[in-house]
Amino acid sequence: MKPTGPIRVLVVLDSPFVRAALTRALAEQPGLEVAGSAKDAFEARELIIARHPDVIVLDVDLPRVDGLSFLKKLRAHYPVPVIMCSERGPAGARSAVRAMELGATDVVAKPATADRTALRRLAEELTEKIRAAHVALPVRPPIPPSATAKPTSFRATGLDPNRYVIAVGASTGGTEAVKDMLLRVPVDFPPVVIVQHMPEGFTKSFADRLDQLSPLSVKEAQDHDLLTPGRAFLARGGIQMGIRPAAGGRWRIAYGSRAPVNRHCPAVDVLFESVAQYAGPKGIGVLLTGMGSDGARGLLRMRGSGALTVAQSHSTCVVYGMPKVAVELGAVELSVAPLDMPAAILTALLRREHAGSRPSAAAAQPVSRTLE
Catalytic (active-site) positions: 171, 197, 294
User: Residue 234: in which H helix or E strand, if any?
Assistant: strand 231-234
| C-alpha to C-alpha distance for 118 and 125, rounded to whole angstroms | 11
User: Using CA of residue 330, residue 245, residue 174, residue 160, what is the dihedral sign?
Assistant: positive
Cβ atoms 343, 184 nearer than 8 A: yes
| C-alpha to C-alpha distance for 371 and 265, rounded to whole angstroms | 12
| C-alpha to C-alpha distance for 370 and 360, rounded to whole angstroms | 27
Across the chain, which distance is largest between two alpha carbons, in Å? 65
Measured between alpha carbons, how far is residue 160 from residues 157, 230, 254, 348 in Å?
A: 9, 12, 23, 14
| C-alpha to C-alpha distance for 273 and 279, rounded to whole angstroms | 10
